[in-house]
Amino acid sequence: MADMQERKIKDAQMRAQINQKLVETGERERLKELLRTRLVECGWRDQLKQYCKEVVKQKGLEHITVDDLVSEITPKGRALVPDNVKKELLQRIRTFLAQQSN
Amino acid sequence: MNCNGCQHLDEFKKEHGTEPYRIIYSHFIVCKSADARRRKANQCICYVCRLYAPRLHACMSCVYIGCYGRGHIHEHAYKKEHYLAIDVCYGVIHCFACQDYVYDKELEAIARASTPKLPLGVGIKMTFLEWEPSDQEIDLLRRNSKRRRVEERSTIGLRGLINLGNTCFMNCIVQALIHTPVLRDYFLADKHNCNIHMNLNNNNQCLVCELSQIFQEFYSGIQAPHIPYRLLHLVWTSARHLAGYEQQDAHEFLIAALDLLHQHCQATNGNVESGRPHHCNCIIDQIFTGGLQSDVTCKQCNNVSTTIDPIWDVSLDLGPASPATNGSHSSSLCSGYSNSPGNYDPTSLIDCLKRFTKPEHLGSSAKIKCSCCHSYQESTKQLTMKKLPIVACFHLKRFEHSTGYHKKIATYVSFPEELDMTPFMSSSRNNNNGYSLQVVQEAARSLSCENKYSLFAVVNHSGTIECGHYTCYVRQHKDQWFKCDDHLITKAMPQEVLNSEGYLLFYHKQILEYS
């Protein structure tokens, strides 16, 4: 039990450290831009945009909030990301970390 | 949902003005320097979780950053009655009283003003902004209410061309130019404002205007073939060596036409820099001009002397190695380059390009004086592409004009629908000091898309060198190909295009970057 807790804390700390490095070197911005480009290329953005429009139509323009939209489209968005995009970004992050430890 | 914020934001602005937003935005949302990034990295964490959690928000009334997912920023908002917070990623304002994001025109303008330099500092090219019509354009659209809907089966943009007497060489090049996407966009957007004066008979002498007119004809919806007599006349009067009713070489016509268009663009734009023919900013240069890098390495001291020449096309040798010919074409300034080391017959475009960029050992009869060690030494020369044009034209040299005989090389050369030019770029050479197979394999896994091209037109020559006929294939929508045989336009299968002989191959960059 305690081990799990400890592991979780360590993970979170590691994640924070990595994120700090990413922001400092500007790599986070570059990765975001790469991800944006890839998601536009594969049509993910257009698909989700269409889905957003549908959700707005359903709920009505006057009553919709950003939180509503986020909770509706997040699961779909996550599922629709193509595997090769995920692989590519993971590869980029790994390369970045390898460089950083040198 | 509007651009006028909410009453809470209004109250805040009345009390504190727009400074707090501007300060938070320019310090935390955009980072203009390495220092700013470091600060952001260290300080942008949720004050409760002490971690970088998703959807961090910065309170507008005090120094507090909380995450959205675990409700920490919500707690702060209700406890302190600070109802406004800014999303640290996007700079949008959340109002906890209204329980939604609110948008304010004035603050958005401040955000825009603080943002421009960000991407460049980190090495990202300009972000994409969607097109919005100007007032003038809206007015034009309203006044011209007729709309043409382009669907998958639309044939708009396709039209036959009448053969005016062995003018199939001209017709093919016209078809290829009409179907060049970036060129089509330029002319349909009416970007050419002509400055060339009419001649004595009050006929327009400008080839660019004539091309613009031909675009109008092709997109008019008229299905009967177009008779390009004005174009032919302009070509005859401007490029004398192409006049007459004999069959001409389509490649020569392409170079002559590009040259003329470039000259007429220059006359309009006024950038007449004599001696630097390819350095103006006209549409022809923007689309077709690439840079060919020639590296000569001295065998003695390894000093590399580099020159970069502008080119409009790449002429590739076929057949077995012949004595190295480094001449440019008869017409105009700078067209293709060719060299032919190697001792095998290429059967594909990639083979031709490999041979083209292979380092060539210049024999003892061609010693060059090295500028570094100041002696005549043998050297190796290598050609690579320094800069790729938006439209890359490959010319397969099928016509041999040796003394005494003219021959056509009709061997089949395969060419791909998608082409990656990475292994033939100068940057690949610099990493590998000469071309190698490994670079091709790496390119296949390349993450960058800058050097990827798609085929969009193929000009073919059928028959012999004395008696032949030009036809071409053009790409209409993404997967639809059409065969243009003068006035006859027929649908063609992609495989048919790829199986054709191939004389001039036109490739278009797949993804255009803003810079």
CB contact under 8 Å between B44 and A23, yes or no, is yes
Within this chain, do residues B118 and B181 fall inside the same structural domain, yes or no?
no
Q: Is residue B493 part of a domain?
A: no
**Nearest by Cα to A25 from A84, A95, A88:** A95
Q: Is residue B383 part of a domain?
A: yes
**What pLDDT does residue B339 have?**
42
**pLDDT, tens digit, 9 for 90 and up, residues A35-92:** 988 898 888 998 999 999 999 998 888 888 888 888 899 999 999 999 989 999 999 8
| Domain encompassing residue B262 | 171-284
Within this chain, do residues B210 and B278 fall inside the same structural domain, yes or no?
yes
Does residue B202 sit at the A interface (CB-CB below 8 Å)? no
Query: Does residue B194 carry a catalytic annotation?
Result: no
Q: Is residue B400 part of a domain?
A: yes
**pLDDT, tens digit, 9 for 90 and up, residues A85-96:** 999 999 988 888
Q: Is residue B153 part of a domain?
A: no
Look over chain A and give the mean of its residue pLDDT values, rounded to a whole number.
87
A15-50 in b/e form (b: 16+ CB < 10 A) is ebebbbebbbbbbbbbeebbbebbbeeeebeeeeee
- Chain B's closest residue to A67, CA to CA, is B100
Q: Which residues 69-88 of chain A have a CB within 8 Å of chain B?
A: 88
Within this chain, do residues B279 and B294 fall inside the same structural domain, yes or no?
no
CA atoms of B31 and B44, how far apart (whole Å): 12
**What pLDDT does residue B459 have?**
95
Within this chain, do residues B313 and B243 fall inside the same structural domain, yes or no?
no
What are the start-end ranges of the E strands in B176-298? 290-298
Residues of chain B in contact with residue A24, where contact means CB-CB under 8 angstroms, are: 34, 37-38, 41
Instruction: Work out how many domains chain B is built from and give that number.
Output: 3
**What pLDDT does residue A65 have?**
85
Q: Is residue B189 part of a domain?
A: yes
**What pLDDT does residue A20 have?**
82
Within this chain, do residues B132 and B200 fall inside the same structural domain, yes or no?
no
CATH number where B51 lies:
3.30.40.10
Within this chain, do residues B239 and B312 fall inside the same structural domain, yes or no?
no
The dihedral built from the CA positions of residue B3, B5, B11 and B12, taken in this order, carries a sign that is: negative
Within this chain, do residues B136 and B17 fall inside the same structural domain, yes or no?
yes
User: Among B92, B126, B143, where does a domain finish?
Assistant: B143
Within this chain, do residues B175 and B315 fall inside the same structural domain, yes or no?
no
Specify the length of chain B in residues: 515
Is the CB of residue B74 less than 8 Å from the CB of residue B89? no
Does residue B273 sit at the A interface (CB-CB below 8 Å)? no
User: Among B249, B284, B319, where does a domain finish?
Assistant: B284
CATH number where B381 lies:
3.90.70.10
Query: Does residue B168 carry a catalytic annotation?
Result: yes
Within this chain, do residues B128 and B178 fall inside the same structural domain, yes or no?
no
Residues of chain B in contact with residue A16, where contact means CB-CB under 8 angstroms, are: 45, 50-52
Does residue A25 sit at the B interface (CB-CB below 8 Å)? yes
| Residue stretches of chain B with pLDDT short of 70 | 1-3, 116-130, 196-204, 244-245, 268-279, 321-344, 401-405, 429-449, 513-515
Q: Is residue B237 part of a domain?
A: yes
Q: Is residue B460 part of a domain?
A: no
Any idea what the Cα angle at residue B73 is, between residues B67 and B74, rounded to 5°? 125
Strand partners, B384: B293
CB contact under 8 Å between A29 and B118, yes or no, is yes
**What pLDDT does residue B126 have?**
58
**pLDDT, tens digit, 9 for 90 and up, residues B476-503:** 877 889 999 999 999 999 999 999 999 9
Within this chain, do residues B280 and B293 fall inside the same structural domain, yes or no?
no
Q: How many CB atoms lie within 10 A of CB B288?
A: 24
Residues of chain A in contact with residue B42, where contact means CB-CB under 8 angstroms, are: 20
Q: How many CB atoms lie within 10 A of CB B399?
A: 15
Q: Is residue B126 part of a domain?
A: yes
User: Among B261, B284, B307, where does a domain finish?
Assistant: B284
Within this chain, do residues B294 and B442 fall inside the same structural domain, yes or no?
yes
pTM above 0.90, yes or no: no
| Candidate from B34, B50, B124 with C-beta closest to A30 | B124
- Beta-carbon pairs below 8 A across chains A and B: 53
Within this chain, do residues B224 and B183 fall inside the same structural domain, yes or no?
yes
Q: Which value, in Å, is the radius of gyration of the alpha carbons in chain A?
A: 18
> Is the confidence metric ipTM above 0.85 for this complex?
no
CB contact under 8 Å between A24 and B124, yes or no, is no
